[in-house]
């Protein structure tokens, strides 16, 4: 099995606009959940698998997690979790259910808010997104994870901007790296004031992850004067596909496989930072700075 090293390296001001370094930072009540948006430019880079397994891994550490499937019309977190919720976000959008009523308990500590199925009415405007986000954020979880759709459509970036941390997922493929850069650029242009971090998935080695990260970081520094932070990496691992076929998170089914160990490192950091600062009057940047 591949030996894992700590995949994290964080400059203190990473994940923020350089020219905005003196601007007021996003503040965050310590008793509110930390919201993490998992997003990407290119599709199929592993967002849903990372969202589901990060949620599982955090929940295994005794935290309450709410996973929200925001891939409108192409929702599949319920499939990955082998869950059959009776209701989903489509019912909330239509006004027939509240977010609380569609929340589906998957296991101890993990709640799924299933996404809009294909053919159902999706989000129409940003006001609807804001209402939905504020309802979701009132959930009594320590962590809320958004599994977003790929791309830079208004609904994707609007959901992402509501999160404290945006994890932009990429693979080492040049096309995915270019699209990851485009995602960061869009968030930056839209004035996102949270923390933007790059997660490189399906890598063969730590070195490959570092190289991919450097390429996106360099482009962000050069063209948009924006510091992006390294969130970590997940190794390419055949157990991921096996677990998908078995409809069980790989972090649960194969806890010792290399992909699970990578996810575990990320989850441990997230939970450690949360536990270490919970109940104290600290801003979100101080809390997430300790995560990576
Ligand atoms: N670390 C990994 N190792 C091997 N295969 C992986 C890994 N991560 C994801 N995959 C595979 O990549 C495929 C796409 O994964 P996933 O559906 O999570 O991507 P996505 O970014 O959510 O896609 P979409 O943009 O369509 O929502 C799946 O077949 C999954 O099994
Ligand atoms: Mg997906």
| Nearest alpha-carbon partner for 207 in 231, 235, 179 | 235
Per-residue confidence (pLDDT) for residue 8, from 0 to 100: 32
pLDDT of residue 96: 93
Mention every residue, 6+ apart, whose C-beta is less than 8 A from residue 75.
69, 88, 89, 114, 115, 116, 117
Q: Could you tell me the pLDDT band of residue 262, with boundaries at 50, 70 and 90?
A: very high
Is the model's pLDDT at 184 over the cut of 80? yes
Say what the pLDDT of residue 118 is: 82
**Mean of the pLDDT values across residues 149-176?**
93
What are φ and ψ of residue 235, in 5° steps?
-70, 150
Instruction: Give the distance (Å) from ligand 2 centre to CA of residue 39.
Output: 9
Residue 4 pLDDT exceeds 80: no
Cα gap 97→89, rounded to integer Å: 9
Q: Is 48 a pocket residue for ligand 1 (Cβ < 6 Å)? A: yes
Number of domains in the chain: 1
- Look up tokens 């994870």; give the residue: 145
So what's the pLDDT on residue 284?
44
Q: What is the CATH number of the domain that holds 199?
A: 3.40.50.300
Distance 49 CA to ligand 1 centre (A): 6
Please compute the mean of the pLDDT values over residues 132-142 and round it to a whole number.
89
CB atoms inside a 10 Å sphere around CB 159: 26
Higher pLDDT, 70 or 270: 70
Token pair, residue 267, equals 């989850």
pLDDT at 73: 79
Phi and psi of 97, rounded to 5°?
Answer: -140, 155
Q: What is the dihedral of CA 71, 75, 79, 81, to 10 degrees?
A: 40
pLDDT at site 154: 83
Task: Tell me how far apart the alpha carbons of residues 229 and 27 are, in angstroms, rounded to a whole number.
Answer: 19
pLDDT of residue 87: 95
Whether the pLDDT of residue 97 is over 50: the answer is yes
Range of the domain at 196: 31-289
pLDDT of residue 29: 62
User: In whole angstroms, what is the distance from residue 66 CA to residue 211 CA?
Assistant: 33
Structure confidence at residue 123 (pLDDT): 82
Closest-CA residue, ligand 1 atom 15, reads 46
pLDDT, one tens digit per residue, over 63-94 is 999 999 998 878 899 999 999 999 999 999 99
Residue 202 pLDDT level (bands cut at 50, 70, 90)? very high
Q: Which residues contact 222 (CB under 8 A, 6 or more apart)?
A: none
The verdict on residue 250 lying in a domain is yes
Residue 46 Cα to ligand 2 middle (Å) = 7
Query: What's the mean pLDDT in 177-200?
Result: 95
Percentage, residues of the chain above pLDDT 90: 70
pLDDT at 290 over 50: no
CB of 202 closer than 6 angstroms to any ligand 1 atom: yes
In a domain, 23, yes or no: no
Q: Which ligand is nearest to the CA of 167?
A: 1
Once rounded to an integer, what is the mean pLDDT over residues 178-190? 96
Residue 10 lies in a domain: no
Q: Which of 64, 158, 72, 69 is nearest to 111 (CA)?
A: 64
Rounded to 10 degrees, what is the CA torsion of 223, 229, 231, 234? 40
Mean pLDDT of 23-47: 81
Q: Considering the domain boundaries, does residue 5 fall inside one?
A: no
Structure tokens at 229: 């932070």
Confidence at residue 269, expressed as pLDDT on a 0 to 100 scale: 81
* Residues 234-257: tens digit of each pLDDT: 999 999 999 999 999 999 999 999
Note whether residue 24 is domain-resident. no
Residue 52 lies in a domain: yes
Least confident of 133-142, 158-167, 224-233: 133-142
Residue 285 has pLDDT above 50, yes or no: no
What's the CA gap between 194 and 187, in Å, rounded? Answer: 10
| Residue 7 domain-assigned (yes or no) | no
Q: Is the CB of 71 under 6 A from ligand 1?
A: yes
Closest CA to 16 of 4, 8, 25: 25
Range 85-112 average pLDDT = 94
Helix (H) or strand (E) holding 147: strand 143-150
**3 state SS of 12:** coil
Residue 271 in this model has a pLDDT that exceeds 90: no
pLDDT at res. 75: 86
244 Cα: distance to centroid of ligand 1 (angstroms): 9
pLDDT value at residue 153: 86
Q: Contact at 8 Å (CB) between 69 and 38?
A: no
- Tell whether 238 is covered by a domain: yes
The response to whether residue 263 sits with its C-beta less than 6 Å from ligand 1 reads no
191 exposed, middle or buried (CB, 10 Å; 0-12, 13-18, 19+)? Answer: exposed
């Amino acid at each position: 099995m591949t030996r894992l090293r700590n995949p994290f390296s964080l400059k203190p001001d990473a994940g923020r606009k350089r020219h905005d370094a003196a601007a007021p930072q996003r503040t965050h009540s310590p008793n509110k959940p930390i919201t993490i948006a998992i997003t990407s430019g290119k599709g199929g880079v592993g967002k849903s698998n990372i969202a589901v397994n990060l949620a599982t891994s955090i929940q295994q550490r005794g935290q309450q997690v709410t996973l929200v499937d925001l891939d409108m019309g192409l929702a599949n977190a319920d499939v990955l979790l082998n869950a059959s919720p009776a209701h989903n976000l489509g019912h909330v959008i239509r006004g027939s259910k509240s977010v609380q009523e569609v929340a589906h308990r998957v296991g101890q500590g993990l709640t799924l808010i299933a996404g809009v199925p294909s053919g159902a009415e999706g989000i129409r405007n940003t006001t609807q997104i804001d209402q939905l986000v504020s309802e979701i954020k009132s959930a009594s979880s320590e962590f809320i994870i958004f599994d977003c759709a790929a791309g830079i459509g208004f609904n994707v970036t609007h959901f992402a901007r509501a999160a404290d941390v945006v994890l932009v997922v990429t693979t080492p493929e040049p096309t995915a790296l270019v699209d990851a850069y485009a995602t960061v650029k869009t968030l930056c242009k839209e004035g996102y004031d949270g923390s933007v971090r790059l997660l490189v998935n399906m890598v063969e080695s730590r070195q490959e992850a570092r190289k991919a990260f450097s390429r996106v970081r360099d482009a962000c520094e050069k063209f948009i004067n924006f510091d992006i932070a390294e969130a970590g990496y997940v190794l390419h691992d055949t157990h991921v596909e096996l677990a998908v076929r078995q409809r069980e998170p790989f972090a649960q089914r194969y806890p010792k496989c290399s992909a699970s160990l990578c996810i575990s490192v990320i989850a441990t950091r997230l939970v450690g930072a949360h536990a270490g600062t919970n109940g104290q009057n600290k801003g979100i940047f101080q809390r997430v700075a300790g995560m990576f």
